[in-house]
Amino acid sequence: MIRGNNFYLRNLQHEDAQAQLDLFVKNRLFFEPFLMTSGDEFYTLEHHQHRIEKQISNIKEDKAYSFGIFLNENDQLIGNLNLFQVIRGALQGAFIGYFLDKDVNGKGYTTEAVKLAVNYAFEELKLHRIEAGVMPHNLASLRVLEKSGFHKEGIAIKNVLINGKWEDHQVLAIINPND
């Protein structure tokens, strides 16, 4: 568990599947413009049970680290943060992605969560570089990453399939200052 000022990050467990489903159902219209996958199957308990099972397996295999973002005051799941596609060897890197409930946006939680995850990645996982890709029109996410210390590196043209369309992504990265 990683403690923040108003929330904590922890790996999702089997018993979190319903809360995760509820989060995505509640925020469907808010999240879908940024989701790589969607459709009715995504919004089922079975899908989220399988998703969490895969996340647990990925942690054990050092492939990805998935965290729920939970409020300190009531343990409510308000978001997800993922360090994924962990690459070892000469690269020692990963990608970061996140979603936060629309009702708690604008409070600095995402920036704090990203900073906590980056610190975990550098200190505990000993990663050298973390990369993010953001659609250029997603100004809020770009601000989160820049406030978290990421720097812009360029545009990846038609990089990710989002809602059936290949979208450009601004590439940002942060390097472990201890390397």
Residue 31 carries which side chain, given as an amino acid letter? F
| Domain parsing of the chain, residue ranges | 2-127
Per-residue pLDDT of the chain (179 residues; tens, 9 = 90+): 899 999 999 999 999 999 999 999 999 888 877 777 667 888 899 999 999 999 999 999 999 999 999 999 999 999 999 999 999 999 999 999 999 999 999 999 999 999 999 999 999 999 999 999 999 999 999 999 999 999 999 999 998 888 788 989 999 999 999 88
The encoded tokens of residue 85 equal 């596609």
Whole-prediction pTM value? 0.91
CATH of domain 2-127: 3.40.630.30
Residues 6 or more apart whose CB falls under 8 angstroms from that of 93 comprise: 86, 87, 127, 128, 129, 130, 131
Judge contact between 110 and 98, C-beta under 8 A.
Answer: yes
Judge contact between 94 and 121, C-beta under 8 A.
Answer: yes
